Amino acid sequence: EVQLVESGGGLIQPGRSLRLSCAVSGFTFDDYAMHWVRQAPGKGLEWVSGVSWNSGSTLYADSVKGRFTISRDSAKNSLYLQMNSLRAEDTALYYCAKSSQYSSSRGHFEYWGQGTPVTVSS
């Protein structure tokens, strides 16, 4: 059974940093690209970032480029999102998602975690 479990969210002040994690199981982690998607309260889905199977390619939404960094650790079967210089508009539920492909720029999202909430507020 495929499982994706996010963690690391919380209440954080503007300008500070936070690191999200996503622990995966039930599939060969090294074979697939992974993504982060967020959903602000009461709003729709926004793709945030993706990383290819071998970390060779990373993609970011313009809204987070230069502030967020996606990474993965095959030894730990984990995906990460380092979020720096956080803003109020980054407040959202952050989901990790498994791609159907190895490439970061292709592939639909086959499986999703339950999300970890991030609230940026002073």
Partner 1 sequence: EIVLTQSPGTLSLSQGERATLSCRASQSVSSSYLAWYQQKPGQAPTLLIYGTSSRATDIPDRFSGSGSGTDFTLTISRLEPEDFAVYYCQQYGSSPLTFGGGTKVEIK
54 touches partner 1 (CB under 8 A)? no
Q: Would you mind telling me the total number of residues written for the chain in this entry? A: 122
- Which one of 59, 69, 71, 84 is in contact with partner 1 (CB under 8 A)? 59
CA distance 49 to 61: 6
Least distance to partner 1, CB of residue 66, Å: 14
From CA 6, how far away is CA 115, in angstroms rounded? 6
Question: Is residue 9 close enough to count as binding partner 1 by CB under 8 A?
Answer: no
| The pair of three-digit structure tokens given for residue 115, joined into one six-digit string | 């999300």
Task: Return residues touching partner 1 (CB under 8 A).
Answer: 35, 37, 44-47, 50, 59-62, 95, 100, 104-115
